[in-house]
Amino acid sequence: MSFLIELKVPDIGNVSDVEVAEVLIEPGDVIELDQTIVIMESDKATMDLPASAAGTVEEVKVKVGDSVSEGSLIATVRASTEEIAVPPEEKQPPAPEEQPQAEAAEQKPPAEEPAQKQPPAVQRQPAPAIPASGKVSGKAHASPAVRRFARELGVDIGRIEKGSGAKGRILKDDVKNFVKQVMTAGVAAGAGIPSIPEVDFSRFGETEEQPLSKIKRLTGQGMTRVWLNLPMVTQHGEADITEMEAFRQSLNTQQTEGGKKITPLAFIIKALLAAMRQYPQFNASLSADGSKLILKKYFHIGIAVDTPNGLVVPVIRDADRKSIIELVDEMTSLSGRARQGKLLPDDMQGGCMTISSLGGIGGTAFTPIVNAPEVAILGVSRASMKPVWNGQEFLPRLMLPLDLTYDHRVIDGADGARFVMAIADYLGDIRRLLL
């Protein structure tokens, strides 16, 4: 005899509308009592929802991103009489009136739950400390999503001794805690990277703590990952943009009312695209195992935008098919939305190469960090008038500083220099962009 059992969200305290972060079951799965079936996330905590019954999953009623509260139906499970496991201390002879109810359930799904108590949602505790040796604990018990998350952070999940989820399952928080521990340990476990010692600055004077914005924290993690993984070299160069500037100024003077101001950046994008077409290895990414180069036939350009919350990189798609005016329009719209915090994740994905322009602010040179898995980034500083020797005399020319950082695993130094020179040549004579 079998019964259809509804698995619902139990009492989760005063919290409601909790988001489903992971669904760990699918129809047909055979599950055990207390096995984690869903992971829920509120603002304050992450909770595992254990199965209140063993059996075969018939239907899953929620998906990632759904909001659930106490009583929300998560799934239905078909269980045989033997599978209806009740915790030993609660096992009691069935009350005489319960038996017919259970039998009725068999004929008329969805049935009432048999007398069975829903186990409470498990609020996570931080994962236990990792031994400094970074010892591998055997086969890690984690969902595909958690494994993917660990991979993204470059964490070998096998080094996490035990998860804080039901039955030692490794959860996202465990991976995050592992990374934190590795970053703060005296010597990073296995990596041998000494950490910056913690200092009590209040010993030296008054201090105030200011939490970093989410964007800043994520950017920090991303930058550290790139810094540790990529051997980077920065090639500096200069473009003579005297003529280009004269043309740009004339375009801005002729602008009709309401027309957007054209900054040097639109021309720099055009020159970069031409150089990428000439040197396809710059429009590429290295495969994850480092064995091959994936050449891209599309040209999406990321633009680093400084916002009150930190740095974001929206992407101009198919920039090679856009005119100067279209590029200006799109940059204005993307940087405006970036500063209002209105960019969608899709707006920041798929870039082939990034430009980081500090030209509006100042400076003469800097060394930007590659936005991996891209293989290079073009930094631009402020153009200034310089005396340039033409073989006979010094002439005042407007010179634009260019800083190209590249992944040395993919780009050789000679190609780096050629690429910067190509950009400088295109900017020096923008008629060449027409060829």
Whose tokens are 């970069």? That residue is 272
Q: Does the protein bind ligand CAO through residue 402 (CB under 6 A)? A: no
The binder of ligand CAO chosen from 4, 12, 166, 265 (CB under 6 A): 265
The binder of ligand CAO chosen from 183, 311, 325, 365 (CB under 6 A): 311
Residue 59 CA to residue 173 CA, distance in Å, equals: 28
Closest-approach residue to ligand CAO (CB)? 359
Tell which positions 326-365 bind ligand CAO, by CB under 6 A. Answer: 335, 356-360
Q: Does the protein bind ligand CAO through residue 264 (CB under 6 A)? A: yes
At what angle are helices 264-278 and 324-339 packed, to 10 degrees?
Answer: 110
- Cβ-based neighbour number of residue 172 at 10 Å: 21
Residue 206 CA to residue 408 CA, distance in Å, equals: 44
Q: Does the protein bind ligand CAO through residue 19 (CB under 6 A)? A: no
- To the nearest whole angstrom, how small is the minimum distance from the Cβ of residue 86 to ligand CAO? 59
The binder of ligand CAO chosen from 47, 49, 157, 304 (CB under 6 A): 304
Angle at 252 between CA 247 and CA 258, to 5 degrees: 155
Q: Does the protein bind ligand CAO through residue 383 (CB under 6 A)? A: yes
In the bound state with ligand CAO, the residue whose beta carbon lies nearer, of 68 and 305, is: 305
- Buried b / exposed e across 234-264, counting CB within 10 Å, b at 16+? bbbbbbbbbebbeebeebeeeeeeeeeebbb
The answer to whether the beta carbons of residues 422 and 272 sit under 8 Å apart is: no
Considering 141, 236, 300, 408, which one is annotated as catalytic? 408
* Beta strand pairing call for 293-295 and 55-60: unpaired
Contact string 223-242 vs ligand CAO (x = CB under 6 A):
--------------------
Half-sphere exposure of 385 (CA within 13 A, CB side): 3
In the bound state with ligand CAO, the residue whose beta carbon lies nearer, of 158 and 310, is: 310
Structure tokens given for 273? 């695209």
In the bound state with ligand CAO, the residue whose beta carbon lies nearer, of 62 and 265, is: 265
Cα-based distances in Å from 253 to 250, 259, 262: 5, 10, 10
Residue 402 CA to residue 236 CA, distance in Å, equals: 6
- To the nearest whole angstrom, how small is the minimum distance from the Cβ of residue 271 to ligand CAO? 12
Number of residues that bind ligand CAO (CB under 6 A): 20
Q: Does the protein bind ligand CAO through residue 219 (CB under 6 A)? A: no
Q: Does the protein bind ligand CAO through residue 261 (CB under 6 A)? A: yes
The answer to whether the beta carbons of residues 402 and 394 sit under 8 Å apart is: no
In the bound state with ligand CAO, the residue whose beta carbon lies nearer, of 201 and 227, is: 227
- To the nearest whole angstrom, how small is the minimum distance from the Cβ of residue 357 to ligand CAO? 4
Q: Is 408 a catalytic residue?
A: yes
Q: Does the protein bind ligand CAO through residue 62 (CB under 6 A)? A: no
Binding range to ligand CAO, per CB under 6 A, among 9-17, 53-61, 376-384, 426-434: 376-384
The binder of ligand CAO chosen from 29, 112, 306, 415 (CB under 6 A): 306
Contacts (Cβ under 8 Å, ≥6 apart) of 108: none
Residue 126 CA to residue 135 CA, distance in Å, equals: 18
With helix as H, strand as E and coil as C, how does 203-272 read?
Answer: HCCCCCCCCCCHHHHHHHHHHHHHHHHCCEEEEEEEEECHHHHHHHHHHHHHCCCCCCCCCHHHHHHHHH
The answer to whether the beta carbons of residues 359 and 382 sit under 8 Å apart is: yes
- To the nearest whole angstrom, how small is the minimum distance from the Cβ of residue 277 to ligand CAO? 22
Structure tokens given for 228? 């540790």
- To the nearest whole angstrom, how small is the minimum distance from the Cβ of residue 154 to ligand CAO? 21
- To the nearest whole angstrom, how small is the minimum distance from the Cβ of residue 259 to ligand CAO? 13
The binder of ligand CAO chosen from 25, 39, 303, 378 (CB under 6 A): 303
The binder of ligand CAO chosen from 269, 380, 422, 423 (CB under 6 A): 380
Q: Does the protein bind ligand CAO through residue 428 (CB under 6 A)? A: no
- Cβ-based neighbour number of residue 319 at 10 Å: 26
Binding range to ligand CAO, per CB under 6 A, among 73-81, 92-100, 141-149, 380-388: 380-388
- To the nearest whole angstrom, how small is the minimum distance from the Cβ of residue 219 to ligand CAO? 9
Contacts (Cβ under 8 Å, ≥6 apart) of 183: 195
The binder of ligand CAO chosen from 305, 315, 370, 422 (CB under 6 A): 305
In the bound state with ligand CAO, the residue whose beta carbon lies nearer, of 62 and 402, is: 402
Query: Could you tell me the maximum CA-CA distance found in the chain, to the nearest angstrom?
Result: 110
- What residues are labeled active site? 408
- Binding residues vs ligand CAO (CB under 6 A): 261, 263-265, 303-306, 311, 335, 356-360, 368, 380, 382-383, 400
